[in-house]
Chain A
Amino acid sequence: MHRRVVTLLALAAAARAARADPATPQPSLGAVFRRPIHSPRLFAMPSADVVGAYMLSLSGDASLLEKPGVLTSAGVVAIGFGDIAQLEYRHTEAIGVTGLDAPVPAVGVQLTLPLPERRGLPAIGIAFRLGVPRRETIEGMTVDETVTDLYLVARLRDDHVPWLTLHGGTRISSAKAAPSDPALVQQRTLVLPTAGYEVAMTPTAKIVGEIALAPQFQWKPATSPRPAIGRGLLGRLGMRWQVLPSIVLDGSLGYQIDDAAPTDGFDAVVTWDIRLGAEVFVPWGALACRAVGVFCE
């Protein structure tokens, strides 16, 4: 009898000791994917935010309409490096010699300056993207296009208009067009302003707009011996919808230049484009904690 009582008391003590402790949580898988997310971009423009520690962001978008028969796509893989930095592989915007807004690959790092959030004080971000050559062929000639960028971006919110977020910045871009003949290589540094905004329409959906100048490669081997590098205007208006806690869907229409027709203006609606995409946030640190007990802090 006494042994039973002692056993039961021991069980009760064990239950007390083993109750859930907020200090050492064991989150469910659903809870892991419901953590707050920070997207480091609007559509193509980087924002002053980074994806966050122990977080991975995978995103991409594509269009079939930009040029008939050609699927153009762009993607970003960003992994949080501490709370204020992220490493990334992305396609950065540039208009190729064939007239497409065919993104150029780049690897980079993005930082957010650890400034206190104060009214009227914007958050500041810096992104460096080291360009990887993209090869295009035009009239039987090949050209390697490379774009290396330094972005300075700011994000501003105001308590009086909590539904509005403004973004602005400058892209300092070193663009290089390298045909197979080294004598024809062209390189130019461009200062390209960029701006954007977000309007919160519902708890999970935002209307997003951005406008930017981007490097534009131009070359017609038959008429001009050397490639040229200029500026092209790209604008996008669309929405970002957090359909699930860690999945954001993108949809946008864009003013872009295709068919190598830079003389077309705003009225050339037939050259506009629709792009669809998504961004998925993977809390790899929390998953690793659940799986093997590492990165739990």
Chain B
Amino acid sequence: MKQANGVILATVLATAAVAHAQPTPDTPPAGAGGDHPVSPEPDAHRAPDPAPSPDGKVDPPVDRYTAPAGPAGPTGPTGRAGPMGSERPPIDFPEVLRIPTGWLLPAAALYSTTSVDTGGGVASDYRVGLGDVAEFGVATTDQVRARDLATDKPERIQPYIVASFRLGVAEHRLFDAQPGVTLGFRKSFERTHSGEKSRIAELTLVASKHLGTRAALHLGGAIWDASLQATEAAPGEDAAPEVTLHGHGYGHQLRVFGGFEAQPLPRSSILVDIGWAPEFCYQCTEPTEKIKLRPELSWGVRYQVARFLHIESGVRVPDIGNFNLLDAQIFGQITLTSYALRTAVDRLK
């Protein structure tokens, strides 16, 4: 019996030796063609292979949004959702308070923000990062305002639903001092309000640069556009004439915007931005008075409550051209970020 056991043991060992691990049969050979590199099967979670970059160098397989090492607190550099023990890189927010930044969400990162203010304004914004080079979002904005006559007090049109798509190059991507740059486009669905159909659109180019680890500067330009048309035509007309902002020339469309943020404490940031928002005047007779852009000032603070949760509060002045503190609104805002989708995608890979 002992002899038999010995033979069995020897056979099992021999079998094990013969049946050693085989290569994955259909793993494409190195250098196999294709539009994109393909991960070998044995380790789908490994970092992707390096790809050629626009500067001709081969990048190491790291996330380009990883914060540079520095003395930042648990929140990371200014404006970033800090990792706080997470393996995921910090997220540079796509907005200061009202203006877009030159930073994009990382691939498959989710972002949402909801705000209310003392004037009854409610706004929500939902975005997802696409491939570390773009992001898509849908939002309801409370920035668009309208009045019947030039002497009336403007009222918000809400909800005003917009979709956005931004494309860009991450900070430090091409060279060390390179700011993050994004080309963004935001366009609304058509909205009917007080018998007038309106639409807005905004094309932006913005650059954002970290100044050290606790401050950042944002500067951009925008081409705004909007259209306004009565839903009912005047007697004898097929359709009411449409008034557009682009019909009045670039001088009425081009605007500069900017913002600044500083992080005096590890979890707290101070934010200031100046942007623009369209305003309609339904009964104004001059076409150039029917659609106007108003400068908007916002300032406030952001506090990181948890890795995924930030709260913001501050003041908005909807029209600083007509500086009236009675128009100013105090707002509160909650921002959530998540890598849940990215985790799910990684698992599927």
List chain A positions with a Cβ less than 8 A from chain B.
1, 4-5, 8-9, 11-12, 15-16, 19-22, 24-28, 30-32, 34-39, 49, 64-65, 68-69, 160-164, 199-207, 237-245, 248-249, 251-253, 264-265, 267-270, 272-274, 276, 286
B36 touches A242 (CB 8 A): yes
Cross-chain contact A1 with B187 (CB below 8 angstroms): no
Q: What is the minimal beta-carbon distance from A22 to any residue of chain B, in angstroms?
A: 6
How far does the alpha carbon of A245 sit from the alpha carbon of B39 in the complex, in Å? 8
Residues of A within 8 A of B301 (CB): none
Distance to closest chain A CB from B257 (angstroms): 16
Q: Is B323 interfacial (CB 8 A cutoff)?
A: no
Of the listed stretches B16-24, B205-213, B312-320, name the one at the interface; the rest are far from the partner chain. B16-24
Contact with A along B134-169 (1 / 0, CB 8 A): 101000000000000000000000000001110101
Q: Is the CB of B190 within 8 A of A69?
A: yes
Contact A207 to B167, CB < 8 A, known contacts A202-B64, A269-B202 = yes
Partner of B167, one of A28, A35, A203, A238: A238
Q: Which residue of B lies closest to A32 (CB)?
A: B26
Contact of B134 among A16, A34, A239, A270 (CB under 8 A): A239
Q: Is A270 within 8 A of B349, CB to CB?
A: no
Q: Which of B1-43 contact A (CB under 8 A)?
A: 3-4, 7-8, 11, 14-15, 18-19, 22-28, 32-39, 41
Interface of A is mostly: mixed
| Given A242-B36, A251-B136; A163-B7 close (CB under 8 Å) | no
Given contacts A39-B35, A68-B190, contact A4 B132 (CB under 8 A): no
Within 8 A of A (CB), among B160-205: 163-165, 167, 169, 173, 183, 185, 187, 189-190, 197, 199-203
Question: Residues 308-341 of chain B: 1 if any A CB is under 8 Å from the residue's CB, otherwise 0?
Answer: 0000000000000000000000000000000000
* Chain A residues positioned under 8 Å from B26 (CB to CB): 25, 27, 31-32, 35, 286
Whether the pair B246, A268 counts as a contact (CB closer than 8 A) is yes
B170 to nearest A CB, angstroms? Answer: 9
* CB-CB under 8 A for A20 and B25, given A245-B38, A249-B131, A264-B246: yes
**Chain B residues whose C-beta falls within 8 Å of the C-beta of A203 in the assembled complex:** 36-37, 48-51, 61
Nearest B-chain residue to A49, judged by Cβ: B35
Q: Are B225 and A270 in contact (CB under 8 A)?
A: yes
Q: Are A249 and B39 in contact (CB under 8 A)?
A: no
A205 touches B190 (CB 8 A): no
Which residue of chain A lies nearest to B58 when distances are taken between CB atoms in the complex?
A162
How far is A268 from B225 in the complex, measured between Cα atoms in Å? 7
Please measure, in the bound complex, the distance between the C-alpha atom of A21 and the C-alpha atom of B213, giving whole angstroms.
55
| B227 at the binding interface (Cβ < 8 Å) | yes
Which chain A positions have C-beta within 8 A of B223?
Answer: 267, 269
Q: Does A274 contact B130, Cβ atoms closer than 8 Å?
A: no
Pick from B24, B54, B189: contact of A68, CB under 8 Å: B189
How far does the alpha carbon of A11 sit from the alpha carbon of B23 in the complex, in Å? 23
CA distance A15 to B19 in the complex (A): 7
Contacts of B200 in A (CB 8 A): 270
Which residues does chain A contribute within 8 Å of B37, judged by CB atoms? 203-204
In the assembled complex, the Cα of A282 lies from the Cα of B169 at a distance in Å of: 31
B345 an interface residue at 8 Å Cβ cutoff?
Answer: yes
Most chain B CB within 10 A, of A69, A203, A274, is at: A203
Interfacial chain A residues near B250, Cβ < 8 Å: 267
B107 within 8 A of A: yes
Q: Does B224 sit within 8 A of A, measured CB to CB?
A: yes
A115 to B27, CA, bound (A): 26
Does B44 reach chain A (CB closer than 8 Å)? yes
Q: Is B231 among interface residues, defined by CB-CB distance under 8 A? A: no
Kindly state whether residue B348 has any CB partner on chain A within 8 Å: yes
Check if A272 sits within 8 Å of B131, measured CB to CB.
no
What would 6 more interface pairs be, CB under 8 Å, given A19-B22, A245-B349? A15-B19, A164-B54, A242-B35, A242-B36, A267-B223, A270-B200
Do A270 and B34 touch (CB < 8 A)? no
| Bound Cα distance from A8 to B15, whole angstroms | 10
Q: Is B96 an interface residue (CB 8 A)?
A: no
Closest 9 CB pairs of A and B: A36-B34, A25-B25, A241-B131, A205-B131, A68-B190, A20-B22, A269-B225, A27-B26, A203-B48
Other-chain contact of A163, B53, B130, B197, B226 (Cβ < 8 Å): B53
On whether the beta carbons of A238 and B165 are closer than 8 Å, the reply is yes
User: Would you list 25 pairs from A and B whose C-beta atoms are within 8 A, ordered by A residue?
Assistant: A4-B4, A11-B11, A11-B15, A21-B25, A36-B28, A36-B33, A65-B163, A65-B187, A68-B189, A163-B51, A163-B54, A201-B54, A203-B37, A203-B48, A203-B61, A204-B48, A206-B133, A241-B133, A251-B165, A251-B167, A252-B165, A267-B225, A269-B203, A269-B223, A270-B226
B108 at the interface (CB under 8 A from A): yes
Residue of B nearest to A201 (CB): B133
A269: which of B27, B107, B165, B246 is its contact (CB, 8 Å)?
B246
| B253 interface hit (Cβ, 8 Å) | yes
Q: Does the CB pair A4–B7 fall under 8 Å?
A: yes
> Closest CB-CB distance, A101 to chain B, in whole Å?
15
> Inside 8 A of A265's CB, which chain B residues have their CB?
246
